[in-house]
Amino acid sequence: MSASDVPYGTEFARELLRDMLRIRRLEERAAELYGEGRIRGFLHLYIGEEAVAVGALHALASEDCVVATYREHGHALLKGVPMKAIMAEMFGKREGCSRGRGGSMHLFDARTRFYGGNAIVAGGLPLAAGLALAERMRGGDGLCACFFGEGAMAEGAFAETLNLAALWALPVLFCCENNLYAMGTALARSQSQQDLCAKAAAFNVGARSVDGMDVVAVHEATREAVAAIRRQPGPRFLEFRTYRFRAHSMFDPELYRDKAEVEKWKERGPIQGFSARLKAQGLLDEDGFLALAEEVDQEVEAAVAFAEAGSLEPVLELERDVYSPEPAK
């Protein structure tokens, strides 16, 4: 078997491809709906980074919890949040996973142990440590996977959380999605130490850098890190070197990077690269790929229809979960 061969059976390999397509088509459709004014607020797309969420989430168990950033549609979907609930949330409908109150940046579903997208840079890191501590205090075997961008590593919460996680040997998997730009600021312009694994190692946390455009590399690295945490509780750090093909958000004019750079990265797109490998190994043909794409498109359109048919929260419920009632006199 060569280094480029996919070491999985047909069924699992196609599942990985299907899930990358699910994220891609969900987000492409969301971008279209945003342009039509049917989705409002902020929208941060994950297009180009699909291999990270798919490879990593497939290495976790159902009892493991996940904390993510505001670019979290794919993580929520792969953790088991129904696509229709995600789409309804982006539409602001009460059938959404956060009753329409969170929108794109604040997906949440305690049932699947997806403890939220977070609009605060590095805001999810201390939450992950708390969730991991709670898991250990309950005597469970689960861990918490925390996803964040490289920009979060310039925040104090990163240093504080890694330090505490290492001191208390907490079962946290720190997953840095290094897409090279914190909003519009390149890594080299914001952080003097660009070796992100060295930053994690400074806290005695085992660290590894991974090709985040390769779903196989992501899955294998995550699987090994998860096994290590379960074998000997304590945090691990993975840097996934990836790239977003779209702007930071739908409001971003994207003046900080050259278009040629984006096109160069697109040549390493995770979906086209993985599907090409499957075809080369005889695990997939073009008809099979088109059938997967059609299946995914139907799921996406069903989610859109569900969201459109949903209902807005009644005005009488606007104070729900916001204000405590005034105590009786």
Contact in structure between 47 and 22 (CB atoms under 8 Å): no
State residue 233's pLDDT score. 87
pLDDT of residue 179: 95
The residues spanned by each domain of the chain are 10-317
* pLDDT score, position 322: 79
The pLDDT of residue 1 is 52
DSSP strand pairing (172-178 vs 185-186): unpaired
Please give the radius of gyration of the chain, using alpha carbons only, rounded to the nearest integer.
20
pLDDT of residue 329: 67
Tokens 């840095």: give the residue: 176
pLDDT digits (tens), the chain, 329 positions: 556 899 999 999 999 999 999 999 999 999 999 999 999 999 999 999 999 999 999 999 999 999 999 999 999 999 999 999 999 999 999 999 999 999 999 999 999 999 999 999 999 999 999 999 999 999 988 999 999 999 999 999 999 999 999 999 999 999 999 999 999 898 888 888 889 999 999 999 999 999 999 999 999 999 999 999 999 989 999 999 999 999 889 888 888 999 999 999 999 999 999 999 999 999 999 999 999 999 999 999 999 999 999 999 898 888 888 776 677 66
CB 146 within 8 A of CB 125: yes
Give first-to-last CA distance, the chain, whole Å. Answer: 76
**Which of 66, 67, 73 has the alpha carbon at shortest distance from 47?**
73
- Per-residue DSSP letters for 133-178? HHHHHTT----EEEEEEGGGGGSHHHHHHHHHHHHTT--EEEEEEE
* pLDDT computed for residue 50 by the predictor: 98
pTM of the model: 0.94
Q: Extract the tokens encoding 98.
A: 């956060």
Going by DSSP bridges, is the β-strand pair 236-241/65-67 parallel, antiparallel, or unpaired? unpaired
pLDDT at 188: 87
- At residue 80, the pLDDT reads 97
Separation in Å, CA 221 to CA 112, 121, 225, 247, 263: 23, 25, 6, 28, 27
What 3-state class would DSSP assign to 211? strand
CATH fold label, 10-317: Rossmann fold (3.40.50)
- Which among 31, 75, 30 is positioned nearest to 49, based on CA atoms? 75
| Dist. CA 87–CA 280, nearest whole Å | 35
Cα 299 vs. chain centroid, distance in angstroms?
Answer: 20
